[in-house]
A and B are shown apart, each in its own frame.
Chain A
Amino acid sequence: MKALLPQQLRIRENQLFLAVTIVIGVGAGLSAVLFSLGIERFSHLLFGIEPSHARTVLVPPLVSLVTGALLLKVPAVRGSGVPQTETAFHLDEGVIPAKVPFWKFVLGILCIGSGHSLGREGPSVQIGAGLASAIGRWLELSPARVKELVPVGAAGALAAAFNTPVAAVLFALEEIIGDMNATLLGSTVVASVSSVIVERSILGNHPLFHVPTYHLEHPAELLAYVFLGIVGGIVSTIFCKGLLGLRALFLSLPKWTRIVQPAIGGIIIGALLLVAPQVMGVGYEYVDQALNGGLLLKTLIALCLLKLAATVVSYSSGNAGGIFAPSLYIGAMAGGAVGVLVHRIAPFPTADAGAYALVGMGTVFAGSVRAPMTSVFMIFEITQDYQILVPLMVANMLSFIIARRYQRTPIYHALLEQDGIQLPR
């Protein structure tokens, strides 16, 4: 047998890592697609096309009873999945037990499919990262390499879940790794691209939202976007504080109540869905309507408040699901409402309310998750429109600053702190 030189070994190892990265990108993409399809089918199974009142009220608490029991066995799959992924990367050398992605997949489908106001992106991130970690360990890679695969899997999953490959890479760098200069840029890009290719080849290249081309109608309109940035900052602060406050309350309850806590959330969600079925699940179709200026002022305000309340309840009660999509939803509604008001009272020409909904999405995301670059690029990737970039950056930065002033710790870190975990800064 011919022996290998160390240099050859290094080359082989790099090639192997590249191949593993591609495999993880594909796997993460497939998992995100399956997760999304699973939620849709389960929701259809439970609610049908037009659910009766009884179904609307009963399904969330009943399913949550089941998920509550399951969550006791795997508490790591509660909530979003992004904080857990960060913990795995920073504190656990990238080790995520193989059961975590599996149960996250199952419980995520159960929770979001049963109408809880939660997003699929956070769970997708944890599933993708968990898969990557499991694959890395199965392939007997070194601990350093296993750790490196965690953000790679997260980026791949997010790219497929949101159909925004660049924003997914930035999210992995900005949020998971916490370093925009990370050397993992190449690997995350490869995973993100392979994941998006898989996603598009299965679901087709349909944009998540159909957004008209918006632009700044008048230089003075930037003032309106400044106002939107302030509103976004306030809304994201209320969202974070509400979420953390109610979660603290649930955590302070006796341990034996953990099994029924998701169901308590389910009861409240069932009642909310009766009033506003639009806040059910991910709710992107209503975001789409807001982005097209198709909702009235009253509806926009009501949906913003109800979605905020529903998400706070669903998440705090320990259900499995993310806050990525809800923050976009809340932002779109808040932005749309600001847009309608500005359109009515501004003495200068202004863009449609849809433009404000679009920027509003970014402001609440930037204010709560504190990933301003991801936020800007995500909106840019959705719209593919340079014209909106300037107002978007202005509003995002303002929201970011205001939210940081009143809620110093970013939401994902604050959630970990509630669980007694401190990430290195």
Chain B
Amino acid sequence: MPGSSICSVASASIKDSQAHCARDTFRFTCVLVETPTRALWRIVGRHHALPERRAYVQYTGRVYLGPVTERLIHRQLVRLTILALALIASFFATRAIAESTRDMRRRDAVRWYREGEAALAHGQAAEAVDRLRRAATRDPNRTAYSLALGNALTQTGQDRSAEQVLLDLRDQAPEDPDVNVQLARLEVRRGDTSTARRYYQTALNSLWRPEQDSTRRAIRIELIQLLLQHGDKSRALSEILILAARADGTPLQLQAARFFLDAGDAVHARDLYKRIVSEDPANVEALSGAGEAAFLIGDYADAAHMLRGLTTSSPRVDEMRQIATAVIDDDPLSPRLPASERRSRLQAAIGRAQEKTTSCVAASTFNDQLGDWATRINLRHPVDTSEIEEALDLVSRVEISAQTCAPLAPDDRALTIIAARHTTAAR
């Protein structure tokens, strides 16, 4: 039996405990074992002073525990299990309390949010920040509150705080379009275009519900405007192409076509404008845009055709119409012209250039050359094509020199365009 063997060892090593050992051998064996817990001490009914305990602890090896000790350990385990079960129950109870507290907070948050929005609508941004902050604190899971807070903070100029609120939201939902758009607008305000573009693109590339198409389009338009404003035409073009492909109404098509023009893609702009004109031939904006696009492409005949008869309030369009018409009407090398008409147009061009040499000192050096050409043309019947090109080149140079004195009139610009077209063609 383990008890008796322990007793003999204990009796040998602890002198003053022998009496106890002799009186209650079995129970004392429990004490002898390196009992680490107060519970065990209590069971045996004794509280030993420290030196004695140390003496017991020093004893190692062949000491066995009796059944009383095991019972004790089992009791501790049972109590621990009870405690664990109580904690599990407490955990669920606490969760229930936390949930009901969250409900309470949600109700409070709704009220704060409403008051914050009302304050914002009345232009009381500071008041709104206070209310919306409370709403966002009460219900942090509701994105709308934090978004509204971000917006109010932006309005009060607290960009850094607004950014923090939005970045926290972004951490929770990195692809949330609203959050990304707000962050993008914030970056636009701060002048960080590349970061703003990244946020915009994240917003556009995230998942959208079908009913949010118009919002998504509006965001794309915002991005395009930003890119165009900062001269990033190639990136703008890729967004415009998407916008144009999904443009399902005339106003949107017109906007996309205008963006094409602003991004320098006159070909796509003209195609889109023409598509609108084909459906609505009286659409002044489309006709004017198509004319402008044709003009930029260099298709002056088409430009003149589109712009002819248009009444617009745009001086730019009016000037384009005059130039395009002049390019068509004043070109001495237009096909199927009688020789006399060619000569007369060339003479008119030289005449305009001669006027420039008299009115502008910078162009006066060309006076003699122009005089020679005027004489030669008067003597020659018919005038040779190469000679016309040479004369037009001279006229063009005169016009360009005259630019230093005054801006060129539409007819003069038309002459430079005519010269340039034929010189390029000849080359």
Interface centre among B84, B104, B163, B164 (most CB of A within 10 A): B164
Q: Establish whether residues A293 and B79, one from each chain, have CB atoms under 8 Å apart when the complex forms.
A: no
Q: Establish whether residues B160 and A34, one from each chain, have CB atoms under 8 Å apart when the complex forms.
A: no
Q: Does A341 contact B (CB under 8 A)?
A: no
Q: Does A352 contact B (CB under 8 A)?
A: yes
Across the interface, A10 reaches (CB within 8 A) one of B34, B72, B83, B94, namely B34
- The A1-39 residues at the B interface (CB cut-off 8 A) are 1, 3-6, 9-10, 12-13, 16, 19-20, 23, 26-27, 30, 33-34, 37
Of the listed stretches A76-84, A100-108, A132-140, A417-425, chain B binds A132-140
Separation of A37 and B93 alpha carbons in the complex (Å): 12
Q: Establish whether residues B38 and A6, one from each chain, have CB atoms under 8 Å apart when the complex forms.
A: no
How big is chain B's contact interface, by range? 35 or more
Would A33 and B80 be within 8 Å (CB), given that A9-B65, A294-B161 are in contact? no
Q: Establish whether residues A13 and B37, one from each chain, have CB atoms under 8 Å apart when the complex forms.
A: yes
Separation of A13 and B141 alpha carbons in the complex (Å): 44
Shortest distance in angstroms between A387's beta carbon and chain B's nearest beta carbon? Answer: 15
Q: Establish whether residues B65 and A3, one from each chain, have CB atoms under 8 Å apart when the complex forms.
A: yes
Q: Establish whether residues A202 and B87, one from each chain, have CB atoms under 8 Å apart when the complex forms.
A: no
Q: Does A44 contact B (CB under 8 A)?
A: yes
- The B31-87 residues at the A interface (CB cut-off 8 A) are 33-39, 41-42, 60, 63-67, 69-70, 72-73, 75-77, 79-80, 83-84, 87
Q: Does B281 contact A (CB under 8 A)?
A: no
Q: Does A198 contact B (CB under 8 A)?
A: yes
Separation of A143 and B79 alpha carbons in the complex (Å): 18
Number of A-B contacts (CB under 8 A): 130
Q: Establish whether residues A135 and B39, one from each chain, have CB atoms under 8 Å apart when the complex forms.
A: no
Residues of A within 8 A of B83 (CB): 23, 27, 135, 138-139
Residues of A within 8 A of B37 (CB): 13, 140-142, 145
Q: Establish whether residues B164 and A49, one from each chain, have CB atoms under 8 Å apart when the complex forms.
A: no
Q: Establish whether residues B67 and A1, one from each chain, have CB atoms under 8 Å apart when the complex forms.
A: yes
Of the listed stretches A67-75, A176-184, A205-213, A266-274, chain B binds A205-213
Q: Does A292 contact B (CB under 8 A)?
A: yes
Q: Establish whether residues B97 and A285, one from each chain, have CB atoms under 8 Å apart when the complex forms.
A: no
Q: Establish whether residues A138 and B79, one from each chain, have CB atoms under 8 Å apart when the complex forms.
A: yes
- Shortest Cβ distance from B42 into A: residue: A140
Q: Establish whether residues A4 and B36, one from each chain, have CB atoms under 8 Å apart when the complex forms.
A: no
Across the interface, A49 reaches (CB within 8 A) one of B36, B80, B94, B111, namely B111
- The B296-320 residues at the A interface (CB cut-off 8 A) are none
Q: Establish whether residues B129 and A4, one from each chain, have CB atoms under 8 Å apart when the complex forms.
A: no
Q: Establish whether residues A292 and B84, one from each chain, have CB atoms under 8 Å apart when the complex forms.
A: no
Q: Establish whether residues B87 and A212, one from each chain, have CB atoms under 8 Å apart when the complex forms.
A: no
Would A203 and B98 be within 8 Å (CB), given that A20-B80, A212-B161 are in contact? yes
Across the interface, A292 reaches (CB within 8 A) one of B34, B39, B72, B161, namely B161
Would A139 and B36 be within 8 Å (CB), given that A27-B87, A34-B97 are in contact? no
Q: Establish whether residues A9 and B76, one from each chain, have CB atoms under 8 Å apart when the complex forms.
A: no
Q: Does A409 contact B (CB under 8 A)?
A: no
Residues of B within 8 A of A1 (CB): 67, 70
Separation of A354 and B163 alpha carbons in the complex (Å): 13
Would A202 and B164 be within 8 Å (CB), given that A135-B83, A139-B79 are in contact? no
Residues of B within 8 A of A20 (CB): 80
Shortest distance in angstroms between B38's beta carbon and chain A's nearest beta carbon? Answer: 4
Interface centre among A23, A41, A292 (most CB of B within 10 A): A292
Residues of A within 8 A of B343 (CB): none
Shortest distance in angstroms between A217's beta carbon and chain B's nearest beta carbon? Answer: 13
Across the interface, B133 reaches (CB within 8 A) one of A49, A203, A285, namely A285
- The B90-140 residues at the A interface (CB cut-off 8 A) are 90-91, 94-95, 97-98, 101, 104, 108, 111-112, 129, 133-134, 137, 140
Separation of A352 and B160 alpha carbons in the complex (Å): 9
- Shortest Cβ distance from B97 into A: residue: A37
Q: Establish whether residues A292 and B160, one from each chain, have CB atoms under 8 Å apart when the complex forms.
A: yes
Separation of A33 and B97 alpha carbons in the complex (Å): 10
Interface centre among B33, B35, B98, B111 (most CB of A within 10 A): B98
Separation of A33 and B35 alpha carbons in the complex (Å): 36
Residues of A within 8 A of B2 (CB): 3
Q: Establish whether residues B73 and A23, one from each chain, have CB atoms under 8 Å apart when the complex forms.
A: no
- Shortest Cβ distance from B62 into A: residue: A5
Interface centre among A140, A206, A211 (most CB of B within 10 A): A140
Q: Establish whether residues B70 and A3, one from each chain, have CB atoms under 8 Å apart when the complex forms.
A: yes
- Shortest Cβ distance from A3 into B: residue: B64
Q: Does B158 contact A (CB under 8 A)?
A: yes
Q: Does B294 contact A (CB under 8 A)?
A: no
Residues of A within 8 A of B80 (CB): 16, 19-20, 23, 139
Q: Establish whether residues A30 and B79, one from each chain, have CB atoms under 8 Å apart when the complex forms.
A: no
Q: Establish whether residues B33 and A354, one from each chain, have CB atoms under 8 Å apart when the complex forms.
A: no
Q: Does A40 contact B (CB under 8 A)?
A: yes
Q: Establish whether residues A210 and B168, one from each chain, have CB atoms under 8 Å apart when the complex forms.
A: yes
Q: Mark A159-202, 1 if CB is under 8 A from B, else 0.
A: 00000000000000000000000000000000000000010001
Q: Does A407 contact B (CB under 8 A)?
A: no
Shortest distance in angstroms between A106's beta carbon and chain B's nearest beta carbon? Answer: 15
Of the A-B pairs whose beta carbons lie under 8 Å apart in the complex, a sample of 7, sorted by A's number, is A3-B70, A9-B36, A16-B77, A27-B90, A37-B94, A140-B38, A206-B140
Q: Which residues of B contact A (CB under 8 A)?
A: 2, 33-39, 41-42, 60, 63-67, 69-70, 72-73, 75-77, 79-80, 83-84, 87, 90-91, 94-95, 97-98, 101, 104, 108, 111-112, 129, 133-134, 137, 140-141, 153, 158, 160-161, 163-165, 167-168
3 closest A-B pairs (Cβ-Cβ)?
A: A140-B39, A292-B161, A212-B164
